[in-house]
């Protein structure tokens, strides 16, 4: 995901309904509808702007060229988690840097298919040949990433499922890592996180891919090194690579291990109060 998300809404009376990111983690519909969320929904539904929406807590806004632009900022736990996972992947793949088998990071590059569009929180692939338009990730000929990482903090698991459905649609990404950090009140330290690994090699039907679950229970942050690892096969990571690229099993471990001990350690180090 990019550092901020821009929502552009035309001036009234033209109204466009776009969902905003919820920062409320309560379970029931009544609890979710706090006063500030009610006033935020008035903006999205009817175009009524109110200071009671408290946009400054999750975003900033400005008028520009007759439009209201709302910038929604990702949370610190979300960004720290993404940064730690990316660091692990880059570190594990560093032995092929400078070779034709180098793994490239595409970050939050925007992608789209015939019906939808989405940015991953991070994405990776080797050099791949162009695809037949309009099947590329840009609705033209640009190849799709092989490995996608999505992290949810304030988002619900429904949001996670939607992301998974998009990335592992036929012809899109090959592997997807989904992480859900259990949100905590402001000033508290995140203590639980769940992670899943999905691979299209496990596809049973068009819409049924079983999770290679690493931690679906939300283990506490004080795990040990080597206790929660997601393994990415080199065959998956290099799927669809340029024909001149040989699978670099002599340079990289197979599979590539992503140890979530280091991810959780980063979260604890940043948010734990001494």
Instruction: Give the span between the Cα atoms of 6 and 70, in whole angstroms.
Output: 6
Verify that 143 and 226 share a domain, yes or no: yes
Verify that 223 and 135 share a domain, yes or no: yes
CB-based contacts of 205, cutoff 8 Å, min separation 6: none
| N-term to C-term CA, the chain | 30
Verify that 130 and 93 share a domain, yes or no: yes
207: CATH: 3.90.1570
Place of tokens 């490239």: 104
Percent of the chain scoring above 90 in pLDDT: 41
The model's pLDDT over 187-214, given as tens digits with 9 standing for 90+, comes to 777 878 888 899 998 875 445 566 666 5
Verify that 91 and 48 share a domain, yes or no: no
Is this structure's pTM higher than 0.75? no
pLDDT, the chain, mean: 77
Verify that 19 and 137 share a domain, yes or no: no
Verify that 55 and 139 share a domain, yes or no: no
The model's pLDDT over 46-68, given as tens digits with 9 standing for 90+, comes to 667 677 776 666 556 566 666 66
Verify that 27 and 110 share a domain, yes or no: no
Verify that 258 and 123 share a domain, yes or no: yes
The model's pLDDT over 128-167, given as tens digits with 9 standing for 90+, comes to 999 999 999 999 999 999 999 999 887 777 777 788 889 9
Examine residue 255 and say whether the peptide bond preceding it is cis (omega within 30 degrees of 0): yes
Give the burial class of 170: count Cβ atoms within 10 A of its Cβ; 0-12 exposed, 13-18 middle, 19 or more buried: exposed
Beta bridge partners of 193: 181
- End position of a domain, from candidates 72, 97, 120: 72
How high is the pLDDT of residue 246? 94
Verify that 88 and 173 share a domain, yes or no: yes
Number of structural domains in the chain:
2
| Residue 74: count of CB within 10 angstroms of its CB | 20
- End position of a domain, from candidates 20, 50, 72: 72
Structural domain for 138, as ranges: 76-271
Verify that 196 and 94 share a domain, yes or no: yes
The more confident residue out of 203 and 98 is 98
The more confident residue out of 99 and 114 is 99
The model's pLDDT over 225-255, given as tens digits with 9 standing for 90+, comes to 888 899 999 999 999 999 999 999 999 999 9
Nearest residue to 191 (alpha-carbon basis) of 268, 263, 128, 255: 268
Verify that 103 and 209 share a domain, yes or no: yes
Verify that 168 and 245 share a domain, yes or no: yes
Q: How confident is the model at residue 28 (pLDDT cuts 50, 70, 90)?
A: very low
CA 204 to chain CA centroid, nearest Å: 24
Mean pLDDT to the nearest integer, 177-193: 83
- End position of a domain, from candidates 72, 96, 125: 72
Q: How confident is the model at residue 185 (pLDDT cuts 50, 70, 90)?
A: confident
């Amino acid at each position: 995901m990019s550092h901020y998300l821009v929502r552009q809404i035309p001036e009234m009376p033209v109204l466009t309904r776009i969902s905003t990111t919820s920062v409320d983690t309560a379970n029931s519909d009544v609890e979710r509808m706090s006063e500030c969320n009610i006033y935020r929904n008035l903006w999205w539904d009817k175009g009524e702007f109110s200071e009671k929406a408290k946009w400054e807590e999750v975003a900033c806004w400005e008028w520009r060229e007759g439009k209201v632009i709302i910038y929604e900022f990702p949370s610190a736990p979300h960004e720290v988690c993404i940064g730690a996972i990316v660091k692990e992947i880059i570190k594990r793949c560093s032995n092929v840097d400078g070779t034709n088998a180098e793994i490239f990071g595409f970050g939050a590059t925007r992608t789209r298919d015939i019906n939808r569009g989405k940015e991953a929180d991070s994405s990776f692939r080797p050099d791949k040949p162009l695809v037949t338009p309009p099947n590329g990730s840009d609705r033209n000929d640009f190849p799709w990433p092989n490995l996608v990482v999505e992290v949810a903090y304030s988002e619900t698991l429904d949001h996670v499922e939607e992301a998974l459905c998009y990335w592992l649609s036929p012809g899109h990404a090959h592997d997807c890592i989904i992480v859900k950090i259990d949100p905590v009140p402001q000033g508290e330290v995140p203590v639980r996180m769940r992670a899943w690994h999905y691979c299209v090699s496990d596809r049973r039907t068009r819409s049924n891919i079983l999770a290679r679950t690493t931690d679906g229970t939300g283990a506490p942050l004080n795990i040990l090194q080597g206790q929660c690892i997601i393994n990415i096969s080199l065959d998956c990571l290099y799927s669809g690579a340029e024909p001149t690229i040989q699978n670099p099993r002599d340079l990289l471990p197979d599979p590539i291990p992503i140890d979530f001990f280091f991810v959780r350690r980063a979260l604890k180090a940043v948010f734990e109060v001494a």
